[in-house]
Amino acid sequence: MKTKDAEAKTLTRFIEIYCREKHHVLALCPACADLLSYAGKRLKACPYDPKPKCKNCLTHCYLPAYRDKIRAVMKFSGMYMIKRGRLDWLFHYFLGKG
């Protein structure tokens, strides 16, 4: 459960960064809020324990449109974190620990 909580936190942070940098709004825009809500539901319903990283998962429970969106968010915000030396967040992202 702890891992899912950590992943939910990472998900939220990464979508917040993506929206702020790409959509230039202070709060989440409707599209990003929708993505976060969708990803949160998928995470809660995930049948795996321990849970693999979604990008390595063979089930791929995301609908294709959402999968594309979350991939774009993870890539963009992952790079954003690297550029700012936020290795603590990258640790969550790549290893799913926390």
Look-up of token digits 């992943």: 7
Q: CA-to-CA distance for 96 and 98, rounded, in angstroms?
A: 7
Smallest gap from Cβ 43 to ligand SF4, in A, equals: 5
Q: CA-to-CA distance for 39 and 23, rounded, in angstroms?
A: 19
15 binds Zn ion (CB under 5 A): no
43 binds ligand SF4 (CB under 6 A): yes
Report 73-92 residues binding ligand SF4 (CB under 6 A): none
The angle subtended at Cα 64 by Cα 8 and Cα 58, nearest 5°, is: 70
Smallest gap from Cβ 56 to Zn ion, in A, equals: 26
Residues at the contact surface with ligand SF4, assessed by CB under 6 A: 42-43, 46, 48, 51-52, 54, 57, 59-62
